[in-house]
Structure 1
Amino acid sequence: MKFLCLPGAYGSAKNFGVQLGPFAKHVEDRGLANFTYTQGVHEVDPPAGWEHYFGARPVYRFIDCTSGDGGDAFEILRRVRHIPRGLTPEATLRLFKKEDDEVFDTSSAQEALDSIFKTIDEDPEVDALIGYSEGAMLAASICCEEERRLEKEGIPRRIKFAIFFAGSPPLAIEDGECTAKLADECGPVIDIPTLHVFGTNDPLVYCAVALYNSCNPDTAELYDHGLGHLVPRDADNVEQLGDILQKIIKKIQKAETAGTGTPCSEYTEFSDSTDCSKSD
C-alpha cells in the first residue's frame, strides 16, 4: 500500500515528512506501506507569534484563505472557547458558518482537489491517503469525490483506505457552491475503510468527530491518543497505530482476494469487534 500524505495548513511536504517520520518509519520497517508527500500551492506566512511553530519556511495551504476570517488559522481556536456545551459536532461546526456563506471559496477548493487528483494520477502506485488537519479535510474530500465519480460517471476509485489525523468533514462542490458534507444532513458519504486518529485534548476535536460521523461506521476505526491537535510521535502511540494499521490492511487484502464487490461490503465481511480506541 502506498500513501499520499497531505500536510496541515502552514505545512509543507518536507515538514510533514518530519512530523510523520516516526510513524512512517515504523510502518515501513514492518513492511506494511510506503509514503510519498505533497503540499498546497498557496505559500503563506504563519500567524504572528507562531513563526517558528510550523517548521522551516516556506509553508503552504491547499486552499487560499487570504480573505475574511479564513486568513487567521487561530480565529476558530479563540472562538471555540465560547461554544455552548452539549452541542453535536455538526451543530458546533454550523456555529462557525455565517448564513448563506460558502465554507470555502469554490474556485480555490476546486483548484486544491484538482491538484491532488493530478498528483494521484501521476503515481499509479498510490492507493491510500494520509491527511493531517487541513490535509485530512482534503483527503476526505478526495474520497467523497471519488465516490461521486464512480456513481455518476463510472470512474473507478483509486483510493482504498485513508488515515485522518484530526481533520474535519469533506468538502463537496455542488451546483457551483462549496459545502461541508455533514452527517446529520446527508448521512455517511465515505464508505472505504478509514482510520481516525485524534486526541481528546484537541480544542478542535469536534471537527474530527464530525469527520468520523461522515464515514461508514462499519468500516471506520477510531484511535484516541489523548493528546492535542497533533500527529503522535511517541513510541507507545506509534506502536499501537502500527498494530491497528496491520489489522486493517490485512482486512483490505482479504476483501480484495475474496471477490469483486464494493470495498465497503467486502471489508465489512471480514470486520471484527476490536476496539481500537485509546485514552489516557
Structure 2
Amino acid sequence: MKFLCLPGAYGSAKNFRVQLGPLADELERRGLATFTYSQGAHEVEPPVGWEDYFGARPLYRFLDTRHGDNFANLRRLRHMPHSINAEDAIRLFQGYGEGDDWHQQVWREALGDVSKTIDENPDVDAVIGYSEGAMLGASLVVEEAMRAQQTGRPRRIKFAIFISGSPPLKFEGENRVVAQLVDEAGIVIDIPTFHIFGCDDAFLGGAVALYNVSEPTKSAMFDHGLGHIVPRDAENVRMLGDILQDLIPRVEEQNRRDEGAVGAQERRAAG
C-alpha cells in the first residue's frame, strides 16, 4: 500500500518525514507500506508565541490564510468544558468564524492541490494525515466518493489513517465551509479508516467527531495516551505496527475482491 502523507498546519514534507519516521520505518520493515510526502503550497510564519514549536523552517499550510485565519479561535477549544460532546464543540468553534467570506475559495484550492498530487502519483492508494492534513484527507475521501457518483471516475483512496484529525468539511451557502457532523450528516466516510489520537489532546473533540462520521464497521481507533502529536515512542509504534499488520492486508484483500467483482460485471455487460 502506498500512502500519501499530509502534514499538519505549520508543517512541511521534511518535518513530517521526521515526525512520522518511526512508524513509517516500522511499516516498511514489515512490508506493509511505502510513503510519499507532500506539503501545503503556502509558506507561513508560525503564530506569535509558537515560533519554536513547529520545527525547522520553512513551514507551510494547505490553506491560504492571507485573508484571515482561525488559529486564535482554535485555541479556544482548549478551554471548552469536558462535558460538551464532540459535535457541539465543533459547532461552537464554527460560530466564531461566522462572517468570514474567504473559506470556500481557499478550501477548493487546497483540495485541488492534493487531488493534483494524487494524480501525479498513480501508485498512491491510501492517505495518512495529521491534524490539518487529516482534515484535508478526510474531506478528500468524501469528495472522491461524490465525484465517483456524479462522473463515474474511479476512487483512488482505499484506506486512510487519521492522526489527531477533524471531521471533513463541506460548502454551506455562498461563503462558509462547515464540518460534517454525525448528528447532521450521518456517516460520510465509507472506506476503511484507522484513527490515532491521544486522551490528553486539547483538540480531542475533533478526532472524536471524525471517528463518528466514519463507517463503524470499517473503522478502528487507537489512543496513544499523549497529546496532539504523532506518536514516536517504541511501545506505541510497536502496538500500531501490530494493529496495521492485521488491518492493511485485510483492506488490500477486500480491494482485490471489489476490483474483481467490478471486472466481472463489466465483462458480463460487454458480452
| TM > 0.5 fold call | yes
Match of 1:231 in 2: 230
Provide structure 1 residue ranges, at least 5 long, that are not aligned to the other structure: 264-280
Instruction: Say whether residues 1:95 and 2:92 are aligned partners.
Output: yes
Deviates more, 1:172-181 or 1:201-210: 172-181
Equivalence map 1:238-257=2 (5 Å): 238-257=237-256
Residues 261 and 204 of structure 1: CA distance in aligned 2, closer, same or farther (over 3 Å): farther
Distance 1:53 1:262, change over 3 A: farther
Change in 2 beyond 3 A, CA 1:88/1:21: same
Superimposed CA distance per residue, residues 188-229 of structure 1 (whole angstroms, 9 cap, x where no aligned partner): 101000000000000100000001011111101000000000
Residue ranges of structure 2 left out of the alignment (5+ in a row): 263-271
Query: RMSD of aligned C-alpha atoms?
Result: 2.1
| Change in 2 beyond 3 A, CA 1:262/1:244 | farther
Name 2:53's counterpart in structure 1: 53
Q: Which moved more, 1:178-187 or 1:135-144?
A: 178-187
Describe the superposition over 1:224-275 as per-residue Cα deviations: whole angstroms up to 9, x where unpaired: 0000000000011111111111111121122134344899xxxxxxxxxxxx
SS in 2 for 1:20: helix
Letter in 2 for 1:93: I
CA pair 163-13 structure 1, distance change in 2 beyond 3 A: same
Q: Say whether the 8 Å CA contact 2:9–2:60 is kept in structure 1.
A: yes
Amino acid at match of 1:47: P
Report the equivalent of 1:166.
164
**Which residue is equivalent to 1:32?**
32
Partner SS, residue 200 of structure 2: coil
* Matched letter for residue 35 of structure 2: F
Cα distance, 1:18–1:82 mapped onto 2, change above 3 Å: closer
Aligned residue among 145, 149, 163 for 2:143? 145
How far, CA to CA, are the matches of 1:154 and 1:33 in structure 2? 28
Cα distance in 2 between the residues matched to 1:41 and 1:257: 34
Q: Give the deviation of 1:154 after TM superposition.
A: 1.3
Distance 1:23 1:108 in 2: 31
SS for the counterpart of 2:184 is helix
> Does structure 2 conserve the Cα–Cα contact (< 8 Å) formed by 1:144 and 1:172?
no
Matched, 1:64 2:64: yes
For residues 130 and 204 of structure 2, the distance between their equivalents in structure 1, rounded to whole angstroms, comes to 13
Q: Residues of 1 paired with 2:15 and 2:251: CA distance?
A: 30
CA distance in 2 between counterparts of 1:181 and 1:214 reads 8
With over 3 angstroms needed to count, the CA separation of the structure-2 counterparts of 1:125 and 1:88, relative to structure 1, is same
Q: How does 1:89-238 map to 2 (within 5 A)?
A: 89-98=86-95, 100-101=98-99, 105-173=103-171, 176-177=174-175, 178-238=177-237
TM-score, L = length of structure 2: 0.90
Deviation at residue 55 of structure 1 after TM alignment: 1.1
In structure 2, relative to structure 1, the CA distance for the partners of 1:109 and 1:81 (3 Å cut) is closer
Residues 103 and 180, structure 1, Cα contact 8 Å, conserved in 2 = no
In structure 2, give the amino acid aligned to 1:215.
S
Q: Note if contact 1:104-1:179 (Cα within 8 Å) is conserved in structure 2.
A: no
CA distance in 2, matches of 1:256, 1:156: 13
Residue 49 of structure 1, CA deviation: 2.6
Partner of 1:273: none
Matching residue of 2:268: none
Task: Give CA deviations for 1:101-131 in whole Å, capped at 9, x if unaligned.
Answer: 4696111110000000000001110000000
Q: Is the 8 A contact 1:2 1:36 kept in 2?
A: yes
Rounded Cα–Cα distance in structure 2 between residues aligned with 1:262 and 1:141: 27
With over 3 angstroms needed to count, the CA separation of the structure-2 counterparts of 1:19 and 1:74, relative to structure 1, is farther
Q: Which amino acid aligns with 1:203?
A: A
Residue type of the alignment partner of 1:223: F
**How far apart, in 2, do the equivalents of 1:251 and 1:12 lie?**
31
Higher helix share: 2
- Correspondence for 1:269: none
Q: What is the aligned-residue identity percentage?
A: 56
Q: What residue in structure 2 maps to residue 268 of structure 1?
A: none
